[in-house]
Structure 1
């Protein structure tokens, strides 16, 4: 690269996608720098999927300890200590942040622990005023929790703050109907919190298969989680004792100790200077990019949640890899966005890949569905009435399995392997020809008739 550039690549954002792009580009021989204003690891590692999954594990012990008695274990009455779990989770986050820093250091990526903004097609300016020239700029700043424009909204918290609570609230209202809302509803409920999930719409987990999300709603209600639908927020009043009075349209106010906003995430582009240099943005602030992650300014690229294509960490990582291989590795690569598996770590969890039944109805000439509705063996002996539901969607013309959706214990763990089969285009008969692994829950995938 010409000597006028300080770096071949400058990455803004030290999350999973930005770190992957940085280290791969550096391994290809590029001179790389990265700026991160908060902590290396991004949303997923620092305040997202990783600490949340650890809380899910912690919450599951509430039921596991109860079930253990049915399996012969003399378990005394146990008390949950939130500060212990919280501090252990945060310590693990610190450990992972150190690993991310080590990855960048080992790959000779220079890291600037401060905010960077774009001040030219080939220029970034750090918070301390330092200007840096780069041949290519990659924006990987992720997304940010949305807070609605409602009077008193500032009295609520978001997923950014939820991992740092001093104590578990006795009463919590969770706003939203997506995966974050349902995951934290399950977590707080298992921690003996009275949970009410309030949604302005009439359904949860929009985009997931209807039978699967209905099963989660049924189980959640049976557990004791309250749901309020078609209830837009009007205002939140903070009372003298510190509690909140939450007012909604056409619904009685709800008193709570905590309000968690989980109403979606928006691309984190505010104040980056993108508009000033001509980068085209979408209505929600997302950076518009082509199949090669290139924006309307040829030297500026973007990956991950900031593009608002698919807001999943593994997708951001795959995009970062493709970007680096294409630009610096002489290996042109594009991400295939078809049949991306996803999971909801609710209680019980959900996993899904491919077409839902409603999508199959719209996109296929004819299709068949196969289901396995059963009570897992562990639940039977534990005396739990929760039933798992597996659903397979098949293109009737080709017999290809075009969708798999499941809810039940370990559903995401099971789905990962099954997603390979869906991605490979295997048929229903090929599933049927596979001998079942007995006794397991996953054997139901090859026994549907």
Structure 2
């Protein structure tokens, strides 16, 4: 057997790469990892973590307003953007240091460099070093995509919004996916005037249609100037801001334009195709159920494979890869029935099939509840919650659960266990309610929606 410098060399220090490196090293493998930017990847550095901190910050506006409905007197104050950004940066640095320390503690050798593949077992680093490895794992994540629009150089992506020195007074967000909708809620809550354009007929394509409509209505109520069926034709920088020519030939002006129009796999320039690794038309690395590419020594996990682009999925894929290759336990990844949360305001929790997907496959029943939660009713806030159960009439199995409202993400994590286990509607019905909570509606809905 050929001698290699390492048993495993990982390209990319995001959630998937870090977990794979640690897991393999703890299984006894000799492991190295290279990262050209910062440990933690999209999630920790410019994604889930800083975004959720911004969500927390943005919700205090309504919290202060709601306090008055409970008898508290208060005086409003402006949001201190520089204070928040500086504190956020310190927290991200702390987390990055934790990632590095945990890898080193597990015995992983770290390189602050970009890695490319020169053959199926060799990684060339940007600092001039070269290493061989029995197995190579590509975990390079994704990158923001912006369309070819005149003036696009004047815009920012979701990567840059975390580092703006000043809070924009007027911001245009282009896109209708979860990143665009989350930042619309964040910036609106922080006090910016938010306009959102989405070229499609309704935001959040791929989610349950009723959920999409419910969120759009609540966003409008909160003051977000949401326009569907509208896009940007061109952008011009002026002395007073960024002037936008819209697809309906109207003009608008903003201080900052954020493009959140999707992400692409970060696979370019890694030397993959010349080695026989197959990429799809979007640049995603094609892998089998064990995350193995067409080249047996090369594997890939996370967003670079464009399977399900979620941090917990990348971590799960990484653990399954390590168990398969270094523990001798073949572990395919099950991408079905993944619970997920969207931190719009109000937030979404969803698991399983949408109503539209389910009705194409099964004879279904739909159980639905819409109501004002006790907290909002008492605070005199006009915000409604939505809960839906999608049920197969024949087996009685719950095929999907969709929640819109406070703590939807926390609820869907628990509900996801039941749905993954194949719980029936009667299992839900037999479960005692926790009162008074919003979540009790999940086990008290008794009548299917007619038709």
What TM bracket, shorter-length normalisation? Answer: over 0.9
SS at the partner of 2:216?
A: helix
Q: CA deviation at 1:245?
A: 0.8
Residue 367 of structure 1 corresponds to which residue in structure 2? 364
Answer yes or no: is the 8 Å Cα contact 2:12–2:139 preserved in 1.
Answer: yes
Residue 391 of structure 1 corresponds to which residue in structure 2? 388
Please report the RMSD computed on the Cα atoms of aligned residues, expressed in angstroms: 0.9
CA deviation profile, 1:343-399 (whole Å, cap 9, x unmatched): 1101110010001000011111x1000011110000011110111000000000011
SS at the partner of 2:360?
A: helix
CA deviation profile, 1:295-325 (whole Å, cap 9, x unmatched): 1111111000000000000000000000000
Q: Matched residues in 1 for 2:171 and 2:335: separation? A: 36
Is residue 215 of structure 2 the alignment partner of residue 234 of structure 1? no
Residue 414 of structure 1 corresponds to which residue in structure 2? 411
2:266 to 253, 265, 268: 268
Residue 60 of structure 1 corresponds to which residue in structure 2? 59
Structure 1 stretches (4+) deviating beyond 3 angstroms?
none
Q: Matched residues in 2 for 1:385 and 1:229: separation? A: 23
Q: CA deviation at 1:85?
A: 1.3
The TM-score with structure 1 as length reference comes to 0.98
Answer yes or no: is the 8 Å Cα contact 1:280–1:287 preserved in 2.
Answer: yes
Residue 353 of structure 1 corresponds to which residue in structure 2? 351
SS at the partner of 1:108?
A: coil
Q: CA deviation at 1:141?
A: 0.3
Answer yes or no: is the 8 Å Cα contact 1:231–1:251 preserved in 2.
Answer: no
Residue 126 of structure 2 corresponds to which residue in structure 1? 127
Structural mapping, 1:171-190, within 5 Å: 171-190=170-189
Residue 96 of structure 2 corresponds to which residue in structure 1? 97
Q: Which runs of 5+ in 2 are unaligned?
A: 447-451
Answer yes or no: is the 8 Å Cα contact 2:174–2:231 preserved in 1.
Answer: no
CA deviation profile, 1:202-228 (whole Å, cap 9, x unmatched): 110011111111111001111111122
The TM-score with structure 2 as length reference comes to 0.98
Residue 446 of structure 1 corresponds to which residue in structure 2? 443
Q: CA deviation at 1:79?
A: 2.1
Is residue 17 of structure 2 the alignment partner of residue 18 of structure 1? yes
Residue 167 of structure 2 corresponds to which residue in structure 1? 168
Residue 198 of structure 1 corresponds to which residue in structure 2? 197
Answer yes or no: is the 8 Å Cα contact 2:364–2:390 preserved in 1.
Answer: yes
Residue 421 of structure 2 corresponds to which residue in structure 1? 424
Residue 449 of structure 2 corresponds to which residue in structure 1? none
Residue 283 of structure 1 corresponds to which residue in structure 2? 281
Q: Which runs of 5+ in 1 are unaligned?
A: none
Answer yes or no: is the 8 Å Cα contact 1:267–1:284 preserved in 2.
Answer: yes
Q: Matched residues in 1 for 2:229 and 2:212: separation? A: 17
Q: CA deviation at 1:229?
A: 2.0
SS at the partner of 2:59?
A: helix
